[in-house]
Structure 1
Amino acid sequence: MCIGQCSMHVVGRRRRRMWGAVDLEVMLLGLLVMVQVQLSVQLRCSHPMHGVVDRINENAGPYIGLVMTFPTEEIVLQTSGFFVPSSEIPWVDLAGRRFNIGKVNGVDVIYVMTGEQTLNAGVAVQTLLDTFDIHGIVHYGIAGSTNDSLYIGDVSVPNYVAFTGSWKWKEFKSADGELTELKFGAFNFPEKGDNLLAKIDFTPQQLYSAGKPMEEVFWLPIEPKFFNIATTLQDLQLLQCVNETYCLPETPKVVFGLRGSTADIYLDNAAYRKFLFKEFNVSTADEESAAIVMTSLSNGVPCIVFRGVSDMAGGEEKLSATSVTSLAAMNALTVAVEFIGLFGEEAVIHDH
């Protein structure tokens, strides 16, 4: 750990000068170091970006970590004008990703495009939390809808997400499991029947977090304080028109309190879509949200998710010929930006 390593050299030199006597100044310095380490784990001393990161953490912050996973989601942020880059240090490249420093709605923000799927998302968010002084994660992006009442352009603000890509594949004719099962024979066509693929049991995740024993969890909760702030955005106006000649038939809306599903699977299948909604009551399917929420929970950092519906995940789509990915990403970003502004106001009130 960089701060601790650097301080140990200082302590050693002073102890030699004092011929082994206890130096009160060094003791105080050690206490200060412990406090700083608790606040932020920074880069090792030999890292070429160590000094730059120190300046970023000292000059502003604490920051909101704004996280997206897909190039279109970053493009709408860059073209929207919502993000104002820092004039001193606008970005830092770490772990193959660019961490952009600036402000959104007057709030200090560091944003990063993680890359797709759970492993990329988890690595990027952990790097963000280990390196910078982050006091909250805001994640926005696109998703498929598994809920017939959630339409293209709508933005879901879930209060729980789950990783539904962790399975135990059972033997043919095996006994029923304890958790939810997917029986392949139930989807045989044209008639239901036995299937040598048998069935799968969905399994929970192992959640490790500081100061707590490991626990197995299936549903990962969104930070309640963040969720409560977001609920005031229910009447937020969202984009309805893809371009000057085509608009969505429904006015997009912000929907709260649904559940999200994450797996390293792009879902484009009506039967599995229906299964997820029926058995788990999930309304959106994506490839990253649960990894981002779990990483935040492990580090004790609050997190919230905003997902704009870009497709119906294999369900009936009347808009299949029209690209609405950018609109869905923009609507999710719009809600995220408004949330960040409200969070900034709350922070100012509590500071006073």
Structure 2
Amino acid sequence: MRLALTLLFLTCAPLSAPLAAQAAHLLDATPRTAVISAFPPELMALEAATTDKHDHAAAGTRFVTGTLEGKPVVLFLSGVSMVNAAMITQLGLDHFKIERIVFSGVAGGADPDLEVGDVVAPDSWVQSSEMAYAREVPGGLAPPQGLTAGLPAFGMMYPRPVRAQRDPGEAPEERLNFPADPALLKVARRVAERVTLQRCAADQCLTKAPKVVVGGVGGSGPVFVDNAAFRQYAHTTFGARVLDMESAAVAQVAYVNKTPFIAFRSLSDLAGGDPAGNQFPVFLKFAAANSATVVRAFVKALP
């Protein structure tokens, strides 16, 4: 009897009630550009350059609205790694009227033509550590059938696509790459021609002036890569120019939400290709500052 009454109540209850209860509350209704970084050193210069700042909070995350280079923005930290980045990006989209997403941060370089200090804005992002681990069998390895992308393996690890669905009525997509927005890339190319980057960090200077590169592929995964063999594998297999821990997750969230996205990553190290040990601790702030310089110029150039 109790079960029957419960089912009757659920059947007769207005369908709008649970949906209304679940609707996210906008903390700010102004259309804004979201500027995201993974952790504080990457966002400091951008927040310092932001005026008319107001703090907001949601689910333990601090959001700062204000004006950067004459444009309305909302700044926030994604947190480090893929789950944090996806979760906090969606949180931002739910609570703010975000017109586009711009990520600013550091990364390891996978392209041998790039050096520490260079800033890269890839035109697509792959989840380079999304893998199926193969079973060991007599004579070799047997990857699980139907779960891999048909790309070369790194040892027992076989790349696999991720599933994304943009509309409930459409079939899910199996995707290896998530794109940056073509219009934002066009702005980035214009900015790249005229921006000047720092060459020295504290008492250390680079042998070459750093450059801004737009295009190619970026790779992300929940792994800090400091391995020369995997660096070469990621560049050869995916075409990865940079490796980080967040951008591809943000790119997927942006894709599903149909929100324009671009990420700028400045090389703090060479992901295992550094000749005398990983340079991340030395060039972190320097690389973050170069990325922030490009992002400020990019935001200023937005329509």
Q: Structure 2 length normalisation: TM-score?
A: 0.85
Tell me if the contact between 2:149 and 2:160 (Cα under 8 Å) persists in the aligned partners: no
Secondary structure of the structure 1 residue equivalent to 2:79:
coil
8 A contact 1:210–1:299 mirrored in 2 = no
Q: Cα 1:319–1:326, aligned 2, differ >3 Å: closer, same or farther?
A: farther
Picking from 26, 33, 44, the partner of 1:75 is 44
Q: Which residue of 1 aligns with 2:92?
A: 128
Alignment of 1:151-230 (within 5 A): 151-172=115-136, 173-175=140-142, 179-184=150-155, 199-210=156-167, 212-230=170-188
Shift in CA distance, 96/71, structure 1 to aligned 2, threshold 3 Å: same
Query: What runs of 5+ residues in structure 2 fail to find an aligned partner?
Result: 1-15
Report the equivalent of 1:328.
287
In the alignment, is the contact (CA less than 8 A) between 2:50 and 2:67 conserved in 1?
yes
Q: Report 1:1-352 matches (<5 A).
A: 42-43=24-25, 53=27, 56-57=28-29, 61-78=30-47, 81-86=48-53, 90-172=54-136, 173-175=140-142, 179-184=150-155, 199-210=156-167, 212-235=170-193, 236-243=195-202, 245-317=203-275, 323-343=282-302, 346=303
More helix by share: 1
- Distance across 2 between alignment mates of 1:129 and 1:161: 20
On the 8 A contact 2:43/2:104 being kept in 1, the answer is no
Higher strand share: 2
Identify the residue that residue 25 of structure 1 maps to in structure 2.
none
2:7 — aligned with what? Answer: none
Distance 1:97 1:108 in 2: 19
Shift of 1:215: 0.4
Runs (4+) of structure 1 moved beyond 6 Å?
Answer: none
- Larger-gyration structure (1/2): 1
Task: Give, in whole Å, the separation in 2 of the partners of 1:338 and 1:117.
Answer: 26
1:42–1:132 Cα contact (<8 Å) kept: no
Where 2:222 maps in the other structure, the secondary structure is: coil
- Tell me the number of residue pairs that the alignment of Structure 1 and Structure 2 aligns: 278
Offset, 1:181: 2.9
Looking at structure 2, the residues matched to 319 and 246 of structure 1 have their Cα atoms a distance apart, in angstroms, of 16
**1:206 partner amino acid:** R
Query: Taking every aligned residue pair, what percent have the same amino acid on both sides?
Result: 27
Q: Distance in 2 between matches of 1:309 and 1:273?
A: 13
AA aligned to 1:85 is D
CA separation of 1:206 and 1:318: change in aligned 2, threshold 3 A? same
Offset of residue 295 of structure 1: 0.5
TM-aligned CA deviation for residue 183 of structure 1? 4.7
How far residue 99 of structure 1 moved from its aligned partner, in angstroms, is 0.4
**Partner SS state of residue 284, structure 1:** strand
Residues 76, 326 of structure 1: 8 Å contact kept = no
Q: Could you list the runs of 5+ residues in structure 1 that have no partner in the other structure? A: 9-40, 44-49, 185-198, 347-352
Q: Measure how far apart 1:319 and its partner are.
A: 8.0
The letter of the residue matching 2:243 is A
* Alignment check: 8 A CA contact 1:210 1:300 kept: no
Q: Cα RMSD over matched residues?
A: 2.4
Secondary structure of 2:267's counterpart equals strand
Any idea what the Cα deviations from partners look like across 1:184-230, whole Å, max 9, x if unmatched?
A: 3xxxxxxxxxxxxxx22210010121364310100111111111111
